[in-house]
Amino acid sequence: MPRRTAATLATSGEVLRLIRSGEAVTRADLGRVTGLSRPAVQLRVGELIERGLVVERADAPSTGGRPPVRLEFNAEGGVVLVAALGASRTRVAVCDLAGRELAGRDFAIDVEQGPDVVLPLLLDTWEEQLGDRPREDVKGVGMGVPATVEFARGRTESVRVMASWTGVLIPPIVRERFPVPVLVDNDVNALAIGEHRGVYPDLDDLMFVKVSTRIGAGVIAGGGILRGALGAAGEIGHIPVRDGGGVLCRCGNVDCVDSVASGTALLRELRAAGKDVKTIADVTALVRAGDAETMATVREAGRRIGEVLAGAVNILNPSVVVLGGDVAEAFGPLVSSIREVVYRRSTALATRRLRIEPSRLGAGAGISGCAVMVLDSVLSPEAVDESLAHDAS
pLDDT tens-digit series, residues 141-200:
999 998 889 999 999 986 556 778 889 999 999 999 999 999 999 999 999 999 999 999
pLDDT of residue 62: 56
55 and 74 in contact (C-beta within 8 Å)? Answer: yes
pLDDT of residue 2: 43
Residue 6 has pLDDT above 50, yes or no: no
Q: What does the DSSP 8-state code read for residue 121?
A: H
Residue 268 has pLDDT above 80, yes or no: yes
DSSP secondary structure letters along 199-233: H-TT-S-EEEEEESSSEEEEEEETTEE--TTTS-T
Cα gap 317→324, rounded to integer Å: 19
Tell me how far CA of residue 223 lies from CA of 69, 120, 204, in angstroms.
Answer: 33, 35, 4
User: Of the candidates 276, 301, 281, which has an alpha carbon nearest to the alpha carbon of residue 214?
Assistant: 301
Tell me the H-state helices in the chain: 12-21, 27-34, 38-50, 115-130, 170-175, 187-199, 257-261, 263-272, 280-288, 292-316, 326-330, 332-345, 348-351, 364-378, 381-392
Type and span of the H or E element at 162: none
Tell me how far CA of residue 332 lies from CA of 208, 302, 335, in angstroms.
Answer: 17, 10, 5
pLDDT of residue 102: 96
Domains of the chain: 12-73 (1.10.10.10), 79-190+366-392 (3.30.420.40), 201-360 (3.30.420.40)
pLDDT tens-digit series, residues 115-135:
999 999 999 999 999 999 999
Mean pLDDT is lowest, of 165-179, 246-260, 314-328, for 246-260
**Coil, strand or helix: which one is 387?**
helix
pLDDT of residue 248: 87
Cα gap 232→219, rounded to integer Å: 11
Q: What does the DSSP 8-state code read for residue 239?
A: S
pLDDT of residue 85: 93
pLDDT band at 3 (very low <50, low <70, confident <90, very high): very low
Burial class of residue 272 (count of CB atoms within 10 Å of its CB; 0-12, 13-18, 19+): exposed
